[in-house]
A and B are shown apart, each in its own frame.
Chain A
Amino acid sequence: MTETVNIFIGVLVLLGALLSLITTFGLLRLPDVYCRSHAASKSATLGVLLVLVAALLYFWFEDNYFSARLVLGIVFVFVTSPVAGHLLIRAAYYTDVPLWKGSVQDDLKKKGQSNIVQQMKNS
């Protein structure tokens, strides 16, 4: 029983680390800031999440200690990291960071400059 749990926890930690590594590859390899943000906001979230879950399970089964702080950490990472990705690419778009040349469509251009953005640029 404990052996199975140990192997399961080991697999979770390895998967999390592997996902973080792949995220790094994605950051180096993808062409522009928007595509990089895809990698950063999705796989980094799940990578950190898996490592935290593994730590939670480890202390639960080995020391019989249920760490509520880890659960809170999981929830916070889960909620905040997509928002961070959203804010980053939004700021990038409105400071005129160009899209990659392979991009095929840009509907956001039609939106025009909203008043708030205009004010931000003038100030």
Chain B
Amino acid sequence: MAFQILINIMVAGTWMFLKNDWSFPSFFVGYFWGLILILAMRRFIPGRFYFSRIIAAGKLFFLFLRELLLANVQVVRDILRPKLDIKPGIFALPTDLKTDWEITLLSLLITLTPGTLVMDISDDNKILYIHAINMPDADQAISDIKNSFEKAIMEVTR
């Protein structure tokens, strides 16, 4: 991915040389043509087309914001309810993510989702231990959310 961005910036620089115009709009136009060039020649360049990853990262960011809002609605509801009926517990969640970077991102996301908080990660990076504030209604819904998170993170990193 870094390699593709480097190629793109070099194409933009070449464009500025060709136009003999050293301004930001010129760089932008050159960058745009470089993007199309890489899209056309992606068979010869290793890795996925990097712009699709940037779009996936944008999607992940909005997922982040939406989950933060939902989590807060849920926490406020739990706190302000006159009778405290929570059933906290700790459950284990196996994950397919491999690198430290992916797992860090996943645990950040889980911490900001409704009713869950990462407590520990097993030594072989395969299981996340998560504290849930409401076990019964959490179990099914949470594993669904986790699948969508893991997919969204894999879209970005692989």
Interface residues on B, range: 20 to 34
Among A38, A39, A45, A106, max chain B CB count under 10 A is at A38
Residues of chain B with a CB closer than 8 A to A108's CB: 90, 92, 119-120, 129
Task: Verify B120–A93 contact, CB threshold 8 A.
Answer: yes
Output the nearest chain B residue to A107 by Cβ-Cβ distance. Answer: B92
B133 at interface, CB cutoff 8 A: yes
Q: Are B71 and A104 in contact (CB under 8 A)?
A: no
**Residue tally, chain A, CB below 8 Å to B:** 38
**Residue B19 at the chain A interface, CB threshold 8 Å:** no
Tell me if B72 and A19 are in contact (CB < 8 A). yes
Q: Is the CB of B90 within 8 A of A35?
A: no
Quote the shortest CB–CB distance from A31 to chain B (angstroms).
8
Most chain A Cβ neighbours within 10 Å, of B91, B92, B108, B119: B119
Contacts of B55 in A (CB 8 A): none
- Known contacts A22-B80, A35-B133, A43-B72; A105/B89 CB under 8 A: yes
Contact with B72, one of A35, A46, A86 (Cβ below 8 angstroms): A46
**In the bound complex, do residue A41 and residue B135 qualify as a contact, i.e. CB atoms below 8 Å apart?**
no
9 A-B pairs, CB-CB below 8 angstroms?
A34-B131, A37-B117, A38-B131, A42-B68, A42-B112, A43-B76, A82-B112, A107-B91, A108-B92
